[in-house]
Chain A
Amino acid sequence: MRRNTFSAVAVLAAATLSLAACGGSSSSGTPSASSSSGPSGEITVFAAASLTGSFTNLGKAFEAENPGTKVTFSFGPSSGLAEQIDQGAPADVFASAATKNMDQVVEAGNASNPVAFANNTMEIAVPADNPAGVDSLDDLTNKDVKVVLCAQDVPCGVSARAVFKNAGITVTPVSNEVDVKSTLSKITLGEADAGLVYVTDVKAAGDKVSGIEIPADDNATTTYPIASLKNSKNADLAQAFVDYVLSDKGTAELGTAGFSKP
């Protein structure tokens, strides 16, 4: 018994020491790096889930171009991320999939001057073999075509309904999915005949689904804003990352994922 207590204390002590070591190395790293030219240190980027692929790539490229930096991502639904930031989560940059969520963060005083860095548009997604033979928006009004949409409560659902409004059609879905991923999965599994999702989602799904373009006049565009956050402990690096996303390299990377330049 007594020996156990002792070893538990030892483990605790060791853990405390290693924590201290971590803190020491990062604080000593910052000044030495700032004495050289570029920014350095660590930042955490909160980004919308739809940015997972492109931002992961951008992060690696950014770290390669700026030795001594480390970019950590936390991907999730924009609404949830905004809520976390307002609750004091330690984030340096916020990239949102909707202006609404960014506005919330700005209003709370946690960011200022957000910049639009990407646009996402909607596309009709159908299973690779397109069993219902869908090739236009009008086909979605057919009762025999099983259409899945995002629920009105989430951004992709709002966009989908905007598209129908623009096209002047009424579509009754078989399901209002809770997010774009579950909408897409109903299509990849062939349970639904068609659905409206972001262009970027169709690209990411590869050859399991094919996309049918929506005429630009009818389409709804979602704008992605980005901003560095007030509470950042490394504002320089945060701003450097924002600039990198807005640069040509950033635009190119986002372009391969299906985003367009605003």
Chain B
Amino acid sequence: MTGASPPEATVGASTIGLDANIVVGREDFELRAQVRVGPGEVLAVLGPNGAGKTTLLRALAGLLALREGHVEVGGARWDDPAANLFVPTTDRRVGLVFQDYRLFPHLSVLDNVAFAARARGARRGVARTGAAQVLERLGLDSLAARRPDQLSGGQAQRVALARALASEPAMVLLDEPLAALDARTRLEIRTELRRHLSAFAGPSIVVTHDPLEALVLADRILVLEEGRIAQTGTPSEVARRPVTEYVARLMGLNLYSGCLAGPGRIVLDGGGELRTATRSVEDLAEGSRVLAVLSPGAISLHLGELPQGSPRNVWTGTVSGVELLTDRVRVAVTGAPDALVDVTAAAVAELQLSPGQEVRLSAKATEVTAYPAP
């Protein structure tokens, strides 16, 4: 699997990007996370609300001081409580794009983008020329004279990114950059953002709770839950082998944990068992803890007789809910084990599915991906 990830993820991270060991404590919450991001690498920090994602960004930006650990970017120490070292935000050169953008309402777009240069002592004319170039590069020159309150959400997001990039940051941090946008704009901006982040030479971190955003934007994903790292890996690793219920749900997968009870046979913790054809678990000893995922689309749902060529996994359950997704219907089934099953809308009508109904489920062993539990 390591081969699938870009080389920066493993090589660059250890050399000269971001190297941080973050320990921050609030009254009722503690964040502990080791974060490494290589130059040019984009790390997505994915996690539910309250997981500590924003706290992580604030600690990196110097808006919050570490209790323990360190923050080092490009070889320069920014925070090191043990050495009594703390570089204030002002001197850190972080390009932080806030979730609510935080554009200065009294300044034009041009002056917003020129702000960092002005703050570092450039004359107004010089700063504006530089800002105009950045705007042009990002295709925003037509907005230069506008005030923030004359911008659409998408435009404001672009300007906020332009402002952060124009400050010539050593590291770019984005806090839920697309959360405030409508679905169509989000798609547009996401593509753009991917391009700009790829062009940026330093480490970037994108905080998000949207798995798609993380998958599209990032070279690597870090999953944060309750102040701890739940999983890190390339997008494909995380998408295919989630280790927590939260990530599995985000990726739209059924995740089961259990013990290896024989070749390709997994006894599940919640009852029932699954057969898998995954080769990588063949070497594991019997009794090893494993995780198994099964896509809702790979499960078939039947009312009567099973079709020919019987699959290896067959079990019964009760329909507990039916939810209409954009292009299909997701049926929640309780049984041993529970499962989410995707069927077509036509199938729902044909089968007349409704809660309480008894159904039979089947899945091929080749569709069950198993891997060792972390």
Chain A–chain B contact at Cβ < 8 A:
no
Q: B residues bordering A, Cβ < 8 Å?
A: none
A residues with a Cβ closer than 8 A to B are: none
